Structure 1
């Protein structure tokens, strides 16, 4: 396991880099004299390129030494963040975010393949969980921590911290990861081919819509909170959302093993997320002077974080059961759909606010998208029950 210990550090940097903008949107908007909706497109640029870079470049990666590819992608990521720090206009800022997403998107699947090949078979799940934990921690811990650092370092200092963490990861890869060859990530063609299966495409659609609602709204957490409450202290809400994310990430696997019905679990998770998001405007209107009652203002953020981060695991279980012979490709497709949904959600949120609609309406729109995902998931459950009944007719 010691050969892969630095890989989660790099993944932490990616998770922090992808969504740290959510907490520092007002600062960046002021620096560039642009709208908050325009600033949020930094998230769109990163997540879109993250989702598409690995499958698009998979063919080019075939035969390329894995360690060199890991180091090259980290160098691209670090360089892109340096460009972000020294950007002078919006176009330069968005280009740097796109380049950072490309670097992260190439590194992540190769790191997962490397981790799986460098540990004994009985420890592969633990190794992959360590990588996913690194990236989720980067989002749920790194983002609020970055917001706190911005108070002293400014928004450029936050990205400098990301560069520092990434440098540690790069040095770890250089010194700790041996020269190995692993299969390149599944190509875009291989991933898209799986969508011909209706059950797979329906499941992927739910993943996509869940990300549109959850990750898309998260990118606008700063304008949502300040727009409804007039408060500028976002840190408590980010920490509570992150705490919920950590709880959801660490408990969902045990729940799946216990209940053994990932599709039904996902329906419950989606319902919880939809209700939590829908409750945000009302919870934010609770007077802060009522200390005991004010705790309830944070509950929707905790539940939203928990539900959002626990939604991927049931989907992975479902997809692997549907396509066991293409497990790597179908899991990669699910991951791409998740980040693509986050990118589309952020883009749509920017268009929504750009047309003068309120942040409260944006929250309700996100809840509506989650409701559509619920409807599709109910259809999936009914189809699954029908298939079981057809295979096992009453005697």
Structure 2
């Protein structure tokens, strides 16, 4: 979280309120309070929506036994609810966001959050497994629209100088949902049934929607990217390298998380639930800590490389370690590095500008869920082929090394191509001379 700076006394005539969407365009006024304190509150509301998404995405795993029992199906069949959500997020989310793009950022946030909330309410009341699966498709697609749009909105609200911290707050909401999702699902399913867990997500989503509808400013001067613009972004080398790096990283991190309980059991780590909490708490700390650090590091790509290195080493060590006292610190490092990685990736993609950055964020968000789904499928195939559970972290470490190699290859190629050009997001330093002199301007501070 960032602290708002004290505002300087205003000089000159008063200025009209303008939309955050673009400079110089007269706005229609912002809903709610004004100033940087209000922007902090708005980013927190986006994080609350991300909390609902993270809880919903991972909580279903803890509800599978009760869902399969009520609908008289196998746990494996019920497990497809998790896959349906992830695939819908990755594939239908970008399609829906492109279809809604002309509405503008604020309206897209409100529509997607409303659809997500209503889908969970319908899922809580679903009469059969087919109906429940249909609600998971809608919830996944709506979440796939909301999350990249929320990241872009947080960047607009915070400005370039606080972009890292704003993105970290939104990602922190998602990681908190991941930490709480499975344990809360297990707790509620054991006491009040699996439907109450979906009603909880519905309540969180409704609260986030109400706050956003009252307080979010109009950020709708530029439409969100179309499908053609998203596809064109893949031709950009920096975007394609970043998306491929994200895919490989999530194959390693989120893919292995699917099999964390058997991995911990094989390593003799004690109660598996404790390991889930250690991993999740590490993820929350990493998500929030990386934001302020990122705003002070002039090269986000360097931070990405360090986080990938830490992830690869932690996963390899988990594959070799035995006993909780060795494993739990490594689980915390894995969670912290795995979740913190997302923030510098988003920061670098947004440095391309609002329009291109929004398209790149959507691609990166899809790569995250596709990578997690692919990692889970590969892990299941490896176990079915006879690979021991304690060897899965070593395989995941290899995927993290591949992600690091892709990242370094892209960074090295970019350095050779652009010479001494500064990295994305850093201002170029003009050569000394009269033309580079800084002229003072009399400008009143932004409200």
In the other structure, the counterpart of 1:383 is 413
- Larger RCO: 1 or 2 (CA < 8 Å, sep 6+): 1
Say whether 1:278 aligns with 2:278: no
Supply the distance in 1 between the matched residues of 2:413 and 2:219 (Cα, whole angstroms). Answer: 43
RMSD: 3.7
Say whether 1:159 aligns with 2:189: no
The size of the alignment, in residue pairs, is 382
Say whether 1:34 aligns with 2:64: no
In the other structure, the counterpart of 1:311 is 341
Confirm or deny: 8 A CA contact 1:41 1:350 kept in the other structure: no
How much has 1:113 moved relative to structure 2? 5.3
TM-score using structure 1 length: 0.79
Supply the distance in 2 between the matched residues of 1:26 and 1:223 (Cα, whole angstroms). Answer: 17
How much has 1:14 moved relative to structure 2? 0.5
Say whether 1:236 aligns with 2:274: yes
Say whether 1:195 aligns with 2:227: no
How much has 1:236 moved relative to structure 2? 1.5
Per mean C-alpha deviation after superposition, the further-off stretch among 58-67 and 91-100 is 58-67
Supply the distance in 2 between the matched residues of 1:110 and 1:27 (Cα, whole angstroms). Answer: 34
Equivalent of 2:209 in 170, 173, 177: 170
- Give 1 or 2 for the bigger CA radius of gyration: 2
How much has 1:309 moved relative to structure 2? 0.8
Supply the distance in 2 between the matched residues of 1:110 and 1:314 (Cα, whole angstroms). Answer: 17
In the other structure, the counterpart of 1:220 is 259
Alignment of 1:47-66 (within 5 A): 47-64=86-103
Alpha carbons of 1:274 and 1:167: their partners in 2 closer, same or farther (altered >3 Å)?
same
Supply the distance in 1 between the matched residues of 2:156 and 2:298 (Cα, whole angstroms). Answer: 28
How much has 1:298 moved relative to structure 2? 0.8
How much has 1:12 moved relative to structure 2? 0.9
Alpha carbons of 1:199 and 1:115: their partners in 2 closer, same or farther (altered >3 Å)?
closer
TM-score using structure 2 length: 0.71
Deviations 1:273-313 (A, max 9, x none): 12222333444x42xxxxxxx33221221011011011122
Deviations 1:255-285 (A, max 9, x none): 44555333333222112212222333444x4
Supply the distance in 2 between the matched residues of 1:16 and 1:200 (Cα, whole angstroms). Answer: 29
In the other structure, the counterpart of 1:290 is none
Deviations 1:197-227 (A, max 9, x none): 3343222211111011111222333444456
Supply the distance in 2 between the matched residues of 1:238 and 1:18 (Cα, whole angstroms). Answer: 15
Q: Specify the SS of the correspondent of 2:74.
A: coil
Confirm or deny: 8 A CA contact 1:76 1:103 kept in the other structure: yes
Per mean C-alpha deviation after superposition, the further-off stretch among 319-328 and 97-106 is 319-328
Unaligned runs of 5+ in 2: 1-37, 423-447
In the other structure, the counterpart of 1:249 is 287
Alpha carbons of 1:176 and 1:375: their partners in 2 closer, same or farther (altered >3 Å)?
closer
How much has 1:354 moved relative to structure 2? 5.4
In the other structure, the counterpart of 2:393 is 363
Alpha carbons of 1:230 and 1:155: their partners in 2 closer, same or farther (altered >3 Å)?
farther
Supply the distance in 2 between the matched residues of 1:55 and 1:323 (Cα, whole angstroms). Answer: 19
Supply the distance in 2 between the matched residues of 1:351 and 1:87 (Cα, whole angstroms). Answer: 32
Deviations 1:81-127 (A, max 9, x none): 24444557655444332221112223334445555667788777665
How much has 1:18 moved relative to structure 2? 1.1
Deviations 1:141-192 (A, max 9, x none): 4444444444433443322321222222233345545777454432332122
- Higher helix fraction: Structure 1 or Structure 2? 1
